[in-house]
Structure 1
Amino acid sequence: MDRLDNNAHSVFSLYYHLVMVTKYRRKVFDSKISDRAKNIFEYICPKYNITLLEWNHDMDHVHILFKSHPNSEISKFINAYKSASSRLIKKEF
């Protein structure tokens, strides 16, 4: 993780640890739902210039480690991911 990324005029290393918890800490995550949520995350990542590094889940939360560029809008990415994953997972499961 010591590798630095660069642009034309800057050098950076931005790593984020995101923990997403289910409502009321309900135990809903199993391997199938976690894998589907990870696939949705990997599908949305390139649009926001984000790279997924690690994905771990427990029964009531998910740990995500990812890196991004300084021009990435993290709040818009997380909102897009939460709405897309919620809609698709509710529809499929």
Structure 2
Amino acid sequence: MTTDDGYRRGRHVVSALHVHLVFVTKYRRGVFNAEMIERCEQIMRDVCDDFGALLIEFNGEDDHVHLLIEYPPKVAVSTLVNSLKGVSARLLRSEFTDRVNRHSMRGHFWSPSYFTVSASGAPLSVLREYIEGQRHPA
């Protein structure tokens, strides 16, 4: 994992890879409430653990979520994104059937697209503040 100096050390690699991801619900439907945001965070933490990644920061609004993830160099961001969206969609739809109307979202939870940016340009403290500042649904 990460050491005190902020670097991830492996047998043949030293890395500090961070990615800022944004996932939007299908048709930007406002389906999230506070309980769903908390469950979504837990699901995404578990998926990150499976990949050897670390979910540093998570927050969202009623129609999208922001993630700040530290990941090992052997993980492709696209593969991580597919698992994060697939697992979370399946579990959230099954656990919150009253909030997620499958018919109005045409069977999908997330929009097929996503936003990703390398977090090396801005200081992580600035990104963390930005994500913490998102309006949390009531």
What TM-score results when the alignment is normalised by the length of structure 2? 0.62
Amino acid at match of 1:17: H
Query: Is residue 18–residue 65 contact of structure 1 (8 Å, CA) maintained in 2?
Result: yes
Q: Give the strand-richer structure, 1 or 2.
A: 1
Structure 2 partner of 1:22: 25
- Deviation track 1:31-73 (CA, whole Å, cap 9, x = no partner) reads 1111111111111112211101001111111000010110123
Who wins on radius of gyration, i.e. which is larger?
Answer: 2
Amino acid at match of 1:64: L
Give identity over the alignment, percent: 38
Query: Unaligned regions of 5+ residues in structure 2, if any?
Result: 97-138
What TM-score results when the alignment is normalised by the length of structure 1? 0.89
1:57 to 51, 60, 72: 60
Runs of 4+ in 1 over 6 A off after TM superposition: none
Give aligned pairs, total: 92
Matched, 1:13 2:20: no
Name the CA distance, whole Å, in 1 between partners of 2:93 and 2:46: 18
2:72 to 54, 69, 72: 69
What's the CA shift for 1:13? 0.5
Amino acid at match of 1:56: N
Q: Secondary structure at the match of 1:47?
A: helix
Matched, 1:79 2:82: yes
Note the aligned Cα RMSD (angstroms): 1.4
